[in-house]
Amino acid sequence: MRKCEICEKTSKMGGTRKLLRGHYNPTNWTRKYPNLQKTTTPKGEKVLACTKCIKTFSKDARLADRKAKKELVK
């Protein structure tokens, strides 16, 4: 099964409901998959990560760059 190697996010089962003549009727269950991408971590490892973790990595990297620039200015 595919899962994020960082946060362990995996697929989930979810049902849909169809509106028919004013009533919501349950239909078959479907499997929802996370958006997994091959990416490189800041440590240099190649992993399969969900997009939420990738966004967190880029945000942490930007914050670290800002802190480093502020220390150079002082």
pLDDT of residue 70: 77
Q: Which ranges of the chain have pLDDT less than 70?
A: 74
Distances (CA, A) of 44 to 2, 10, 35: 21, 23, 21
Domain hosting residue 27, numbered range: 12-73
pLDDT of residue 16: 82
Residue 18 falls inside a structural domain: yes
| Domain total in the chain | 1
Q: What is the DSSP letter of 44?
A: S
Q: In one letter, which amino acid is 4?
A: C
Residue 66 falls inside a structural domain: yes
Burial of residue 4 (CB within 10 Å: 0-12, 13-18, 19+) is: buried
Compute the distance between CA of residue 8 and CA of residue 21 in angstroms, rounded to an integer.
41
CB 30 within 8 Å of CB 13: yes
| pTM tops 0.75, yes or no | no
Residue 63 falls inside a structural domain: yes
Q: 55-64, pLDDT tens digit by residue? A: 988 888 788 8
